[in-house]
Chains A and B, each alone.
Chain A
Amino acid sequence: MPASRRDLLRTGLGVAAVGALGTPLLAACGGGDDAGGGSSNAGVTLPNYIPFAGPTPDLPASGEVPPGYYTYPKSLVRSVSGTPLAGGTVKATTMTFLPIPPPRGENGAWTEVEKRLGGTLDLTIVPASDYDAKFNTTVAGGDLPDMVLYSAGLNNVPQFAEATCVDLGEYLAGDKVAEFKNLAAIPTVAWQNCVIGGKLYALPICRNITGGSGFVNMRFFKELGIEDHTRLAANADEFFEVAKKLTDPGKDRYALIKFASTTLFAHMFRVPNNWRLDGGKLVAARETPEYKEAVAFIRKLHDAGVFYPGSEGFTGVQRGNAFTAGQVAMIYDGLPAYAGHWTNLRAQHADNDPRPFIPFGHDGGEGVCWQDNIMLAYTFVKKADKEKVKEVLRVADFLAAPFGSEEYELLKYGVEGTHFTKDADGNPVPSDLGTRELTVPWDKLAANPPVVYNATGGKQYTDYAHQALSSLLPIALPDPTVGFRSETQDRDGTKIAQPFNDLVKDIVNGRAEVSAIDAALDEWRAAGGDKIRGEYENAIAGK
């Protein structure tokens, strides 16, 4: 099940359910010279944006909303000429959310990709649940591959990047990126997040900017006479009543499932995205009264028994299974998971109607969501001579082939006739071989710019998803600290926030009281929260 790990991290703010994850990536993304602990990204030339001249979409792109396609394009464009590798070998390490694919040499689809690359692409594939630990052991093992995906876990990213990675600015800044056409089609907002310590050190795995606010199965809401999924309830109190009505333990059905669930509710209560900038002063999301209200509301829901019992220990997959099985009506999960939920729920029951949840305001006003999924992670390129780096970038360029290109089809669906066939509308239908062999996570090394399309979803899916992004993106709050760096946050941010996050977890699970939040906030501020704030404020003020 594809899930956006990044936004789980970022939005997991309140509930530290993801275990011991390291520095949040985006916060670690900022950079500059290290003076004073905080610094900014000014003075980095980002790659110029040159959009891909692909097939005409059914729903046009507008602003940050990506283009939508009802069917697979009839004619494809070759986006990479020649062979990127000329007989060479590139090694890479990345993560996967999918079943483990057959290895290189036993995987026909992989062989086809290598044929087209003209060389060897040797991939070490690590399941996402272990990736942070593996990244750290790989770094410690001292044998970095040519390309390596990074998501979290290092305690000093700028220092690591400087010691081991190539400054990609030399190869991609400004017009230079024109040599790599597919990389040039990646939106600028994603590149902004790849500046580390004042240099462009990484390739983005870009996403839809917002991770959304979870999903609802409208089937259960419709049973209660609620038809408008963009406004499930007028306010929090009404939602509380709806949640109680949705819950029926006798039928093994509950309204909600635990996990990072503060996110969904934080959106109802208009909690800022990580920080709120107000006249040069920063307020952390957890310090806001909105946040406390959101936590109190979750606690109220918990006490009412509308969360699936025991679900706080569920893995992402178990949560997804419960949603699929109709055991819960609402789930928090990243927007990229929509295609998976769409397919799973509709296969399970014809009446299932999964829709992205559009947050409403707790007081009857508007809700918010966050710009928390600009990218999933990023890819570092190991220091090497110029020729080698260019070779690696050519591979990345190949892997970033956009929707509507021949390379995209090969990477995503394999070879027609072997790995997939086309249905009446021209949509690719994977064969069994395709299902097994095409789980190689190419897109977790370099990713194409997002589009809205689902081979089995048809017009309906594209409409729903496109509509959701059109509703969510305008209310998506930016994180004012993105692009700026706090050294304390990079080094110890997670550690400092841990006791607070643990407390919130205890509160929403009925093991502590909401009133304990204030004392925990004081503790957080004293432990380094105020220091982080100061460093960010200085960086933002350009000091």
Chain B
Amino acid sequence: MSFGGVRMSVETETPAVTAKEKPKPRPRRKLTLVQRLKRDKVMILLAAPGLLYFLVFHYLPMLGNIVAFQDYQPYLGFLDSDWIGLENFTDAFADPRFWSAVTNTLVIALVQLVFFFPAPIALALLLNSVLSSKIRRFVQSVVYLPHFIGWVIIVSIFQQLLGAAGLLPNVLDAIGLPRYDMMTDPDAFPWLVTLQLVWKDMGWGTIIFLAALLSIDPQLYEAAAVDGASRWRRLWHVTLPGITPIIILLLILNLGNILSVGFEQLILQRDNVGAAAGEVLDTYVYFNGIQNGEWGPSAAIGIVKAIFGTALILGANKLAHFFGHEGIYRGADK
């Protein structure tokens, strides 16, 4: 579920509880640390594997970033590789392919922002206007499905639909137009990946907006209708204001993720259009670092990206707070 880390929670109907009498509040007293540990030992033990996981797999790798300051050669290891200061950073910044990756990343992110982001909103509005819950459920269960399909499968399918020997060129051919292969056209690449994203996640993205639409008080509609507001005016004056906060929130959080455009999706298709159009920051780090063995400079790019990415996410959260919403980290502990 990729709403830029927006917090979602699972609701169910509250279990029917035969509410016993509330236990009387016990008088509070200060416990010693030992007493508290004893009281909480089961809870702490349960959380411990998770803690260990996060420390080992999210914090420990940070140490690996030292290779960004080395002429790292894996067969020499951390200890025997030469320290070269900031040379990797200057090398990376001097590499035109890095800047081309930055440009591609931003272009793809922008195209997705303009053409993918509104898609679920539109579909949600459409679904919301469908009165028959049967139809609505049916459409929902169909459009949620592609979200669960992996990128390898999706790219395989698109290859058959749009690829050189695929459906689209055949159709074009049949109606007398020149064959066109969208899969390998570098100019079309941002549009291609956006189209794939729309296919995969447009439906899934509606969940959050449908929930927001459901929370709009129906009396508002009724009142507006009684006042003579038309269908479109109600959409404009009741529906949209009702979901504007959530749109703004998601938009902001999306901006926070602008440096990370779908990694698996792009790594599978980069070679179809060549690095000049298909390389984004993450694939640059992979291809340059792991395939070409440029460990140091790639780790350096990784650090720069992580710093900018974190700053963007923090900034986005601040902005979200400014608009009166909670971000991902504040208030998670309530």
A and B touch in the complex (CB under 8 A): yes
A residues whose Cβ falls under 8 Å from a Cβ of B: 19-20, 22, 132-133, 136-137, 139-142, 144, 153-156, 159-160, 163-164, 249, 252, 308-314, 318, 494-495, 498-499, 502, 505-506, 511
Residue of B nearest to A313 (CB): B184
Interface of A is mostly: helix
Q: Which of A137, A164, A252 contacts B75 (CB 8 A)?
A: A164
Which of chain B's residues have a CB closer than 8 A to the CB of A155? 292-294
Which of chain B's residues have a CB closer than 8 A to the CB of A142? 74-75, 77
B residues whose Cβ falls under 8 Å from a Cβ of A: 73-77, 95-97, 163-165, 169, 173, 178-181, 183-184, 186, 270-276, 287-288, 290-295
Question: Would you give the shortest CB distance from A289 to chain B, in whole angstroms?
Answer: 26
Can you identify 17 A-B contacts, CB atoms within 8 angstroms?
A19-B287, A133-B291, A141-B74, A142-B75, A153-B293, A163-B73, A249-B178, A309-B180, A309-B181, A310-B164, A310-B183, A312-B184, A318-B164, A494-B292, A498-B97, A502-B274, A506-B276
Q: Which of A20, A22, A139, A313 contacts B183 (CB 8 A)?
A: A313
Further 5 A-B residue pairs, CB within 8 A, beyond A139-B293, A163-B76, A313-B181 = A140-B74, A141-B74, A494-B292, A495-B97, A502-B274
Which of chain A's residues have a CB closer than 8 A to the CB of B77? 142
Residue of B nearest to A252 (CB): B173
Which of chain B's residues have a CB closer than 8 A to the CB of A494? 292
Given contacts A156-B73, A310-B169, whether A133 and B290 have CB atoms under 8 Å apart is yes
Q: A156 to B275, alpha carbons, bound, how many Å?
A: 23
Structural contact, A153 and B164, CB atoms closer than 8 A: no
Interface of B is mostly: helix
Q: A112 to B76, alpha carbons, bound, how many Å?
A: 38
Which of chain B's residues have a CB closer than 8 A to the CB of A310? 163-164, 169, 179-181, 183-184
Question: Would you give the shortest CB distance from B173 to chain A, in whole angstroms?
Answer: 8
Question: Would you give the shortest CB distance from B328 to chain A, in whole angstroms?
Answer: 33
Which of chain A's residues have a CB closer than 8 A to the CB of B272? 313
Structural contact, A20 and B292, CB atoms closer than 8 A: yes
Q: A347 to B293, alpha carbons, bound, how many Å?
A: 42
Which of chain B's residues have a CB closer than 8 A to the CB of A159? 73
Which of chain B's residues have a CB closer than 8 A to the CB of A252? 173
Question: Would you give the shortest CB distance from B117 to chain A, in whole angstroms?
Answer: 28
Question: Would you give the shortest CB distance from B70 to chain A, in whole angstroms?
Answer: 13
Residue of B nearest to A144 (CB): B75
Which of chain B's residues have a CB closer than 8 A to the CB of A19? 270-271, 275, 287, 291
Structural contact, A160 and B184, CB atoms closer than 8 A: no
Structural contact, A313 and B273, CB atoms closer than 8 A: yes
Question: Would you give the shortest CB distance from A128 to chain B, in whole angstroms?
Answer: 14
Q: Which of A141, A154, A318 contacts B293 (CB 8 A)?
A: A154
Structural contact, B274 and A505, CB atoms closer than 8 A: yes
Q: A498 to B95, alpha carbons, bound, how many Å?
A: 11
Q: A511 to B188, alpha carbons, bound, how many Å?
A: 13
Q: A98 to B45, alpha carbons, bound, how many Å?
A: 51
Which of chain B's residues have a CB closer than 8 A to the CB of A144? 75
Structural contact, B293 and A136, CB atoms closer than 8 A: yes
Structural contact, A309 and B290, CB atoms closer than 8 A: no
Structural contact, B290 and A139, CB atoms closer than 8 A: no
9 nearest A-B residue pairs (beta carbon): A310-B181, A313-B184, A310-B164, A140-B74, A133-B291, A309-B179, A313-B272, A20-B287, A155-B293
Which of chain B's residues have a CB closer than 8 A to the CB of A137? 290
Residue of B nearest to A499 (CB): B96
Which of chain A's residues have a CB closer than 8 A to the CB of B181? 309-310, 313
Question: Would you give the shortest CB distance from B51 to chain A, in whole angstroms?
Answer: 28
Question: Would you give the shortest CB distance from A521 to chain B, in whole angstroms?
Answer: 16
Q: A399 to B287, alpha carbons, bound, how many Å?
A: 33
Question: Would you give the shortest CB distance from B241 to chain A, in whole angstroms?
Answer: 47
Structural contact, A136 and B186, CB atoms closer than 8 A: no
Question: Would you give the shortest CB distance from B279 to chain A, in whole angstroms?
Answer: 9
Q: A348 to B274, alpha carbons, bound, how many Å?
A: 32
Which of chain A's residues have a CB closer than 8 A to the CB of B73? 156, 159-160, 163
Structural contact, B74 and A139, CB atoms closer than 8 A: yes
